[in-house]
Chain A
Amino acid sequence: MTTKPIISVHGLTKTFGSFTAVDAISFDVAPGEIFGFLGANGAGKTTAMKMLCGLLSPTSGQARVAGFDLSTQTEDVKRRIGYMSQKFSLYEDLTVAENIQFYGGIYGLTLAEIKHKSIALATELGLTLEMNKLVRSLPLGWKQKIAFSVALLHDPAIVFLDEPTGGVDPVTRRQFWDLIYAAAHRGVTLFVTTHYMDEAEYCHRVSIMVDGAIKALDTPHALRKQFGVASMDEVFTLLARGAQRSAD
């Protein structure tokens, strides 16, 4: 990596009482990279990601995200990142257009910008006719695509995606990854957690967390070679088998 990393993590730790959820993890992510953040349930992925988004304060360690210090410049970090949580994040009782207007508005977009972005988004997703429908009435796959587009609304440097394709059919997942590639192509950094190993293959680089620590970090190709197996699925199984913690 020749460019300056957009995410730089050193010894980031989170403890809850005597339980160490995230144990001194360190890694860098380059701008425009699709970074896969893997791990079994309870391995500490979501906790680590929440710290990087400023939703949880780290117990110790440092991190710089989008050029700002995570502990001291949290609000600056928040302006530069997008987040799509595991739980569905759009308001179901608002229409697609109203959700776009709301999230655009609170990120400081002008009404003209919001209008412009709404039209662009509707065209890109092929949702021109659905813009004034309540989000509640749309199928899950569409909601996920809209949620991702909304997370990109304010042109963030990084978007964090926490299991964005959970419960979505394979065709829609494929379409979703097309959106991720398109965003990466525009220079957005994507930080993705997933349980689907085929999705792990799509990432530029992948880290695998076991019991709160990062046990492997490389390109999918290099990881397969390192462990002498044919697929990411096998890499993951080899590493996760050593886990002491039970799934939550």
Chain B
Amino acid sequence: MRTLFFLLQKEFRQILRDRIILAMILIMPTMQLILLPLAANYEVRHIGVSIVDHDRSAASQQLVRKITSTDYFNLVRYTSSYPEAFALIESNQTDVILEIPVGFERGLVRENEQSLFISTNAINGVKANIGAAYLNRIVMDFNADLRTELLSDAKGRVQPLIDVRTIDRFNPHLLYHVFMVPGILALLLTMISVYLSALNIVKEKELGTIEQINVTPITRLQFISGKLIPFWLLGFVTLTIGLLVARFVYGIVPEGNIALIYLFSGVYLTAVLGLGLLISTVAETQQQAMFVAFFFMMIFIMMGGLFTSIESMPQWAQWLTYLNPVRYIIEVMRLVILKGAGFSEIRFHFLVIAGMAILLNSWAVLKYRKMA
């Protein structure tokens, strides 16, 4: 215990003297949490649409009005020449072309069937896809309106149409940052912990001070605890700052028990710090440690469910995400902060992360050798 006290005292003195580490812990999360949720927005608006209208009928005019009345679309060009519209795609001025064929109105009325042609500029694949999807939805909507109108006129009864209405529970206004903030906070917590712990021991290796430690009677457990505890506590500082930013900048008040967030984060931090320590026992230089940590962080971030939804990944990738600790904390953050989940709902997450914490730290203690 005494030994641990001296180890912790030394570690805190060094951390508090290091301005860059302090900035990483205090300022970086604040800035990123204010900046990123506003910038990283998936909602696509102002899609440039060009409409090639070969029909020029009342029905086609009505459709055009319907499309341009939303702020999802900006009408770039209204024309009757497809090559002209296509040139706009080539010069990157329009994202989507909607082609309305000749006889659109007549076909709708007589044959009760009509096709439209949508071409998209797939260079910005996301925007084009979303544009096409929005456009589809508007056309379907238009179609439904028309059917109601026409059919009720002709036969006096309305054909039943299934109307899907979405209610977004737990984020009623579908505000993007409400969804992003807990996720980004989870990522920050992971990044800071993995990097700081990985670099710390390697730095002692590079400086040679680790040799001096290794000739002392310090045990492996004492040494690893001395490295883990300070960063564990600093993780809570980052978490607290993050929750305060969420509360006072974004007005996100956790629906669930805040103690549950801290409890889970405590276990989570132990797990990711264990990973950092494990990296540091393998790497010989800080560059090596950075690259290895970066490799893991890339996978963790890309497959964590924040930027790509896990449900839309191929099955094998979905299985892989079960090994990704970030997946669990992002889910838990969202469940507890947005949905107000209790312990029973995050029990699975809790057990998996506790398992990872035990596994990674035991591995790190075993790998750390005082003797080569």
Say yes or no for B115: interface residue by CB 8 A criterion.
no
Which among A55, A91, A101, A103 is the interface contact of B214 at CB below 8 angstroms? A55
* B17 neighbours in A (Cβ, 8 Å): 93
Chain B residue total in the interface (Cβ 8 A): 25
* Number of A-B residue pairs at CB separation under 8 A: 78
CA distance A104 to B230 in the complex (A): 21
CA distance A101 to B10 in the complex (A): 9
Instruction: For A85, give the chain B residue with the smallest CB separation.
Output: B211
Is A83 within 8 A of B212, CB to CB? yes
Say yes or no for B154: interface residue by CB 8 A criterion.
no
CA distance A74 to B3 in the complex (A): 18
CA distance A53 to B213 in the complex (A): 12
Is A87 within 8 A of B211, CB to CB? yes
Interface string of B1-45 (1 = CB under 8 A from A): 011011101100110011000000000000000000000000000
Is A91 within 8 A of B209, CB to CB? yes
Is B208 within 8 A of A106, CB to CB? no
Say yes or no for B372: interface residue by CB 8 A criterion.
yes
The minimal Cβ–Cβ distance linking A93 to chain B, given in whole angstroms, is 5
Say yes or no for B249: interface residue by CB 8 A criterion.
no
Say yes or no for A98: interface residue by CB 8 A criterion.
yes
From known contacts A55-B372, A57-B371, infer whether A89 and B212 are also in contact, taking CB-CB under 8 Å: yes
Say yes or no for A214: interface residue by CB 8 A criterion.
no
| A61-91 interface (Cβ within 8 A of B) | 74-75, 78-79, 81-83, 85-91
24 contacts between A and B (CB under 8 A): A53-B215, A55-B370, A57-B371, A57-B372, A79-B217, A81-B215, A83-B215, A85-B211, A85-B212, A87-B211, A88-B208, A89-B211, A91-B10, A93-B17, A94-B13, A102-B9, A103-B212, A103-B216, A105-B3, A106-B6, A106-B7, A106-B217, A106-B218, A108-B3
CA distance A88 to B211 in the complex (A): 10
Say yes or no for B207: interface residue by CB 8 A criterion.
yes
Instruction: For A81, give the chain B residue with the smallest CB separation.
Output: B215
Is B6 within 8 A of A101, CB to CB? yes
From known contacts A93-B14, A94-B14, infer whether A102 and B207 are also in contact, taking CB-CB under 8 Å: no
CA distance A86 to B212 in the complex (A): 10
Say yes or no for A107: interface residue by CB 8 A criterion.
yes
The minimal Cβ–Cβ distance linking B9 to chain A, given in whole angstroms, is 7
Say yes or no for A56: interface residue by CB 8 A criterion.
yes
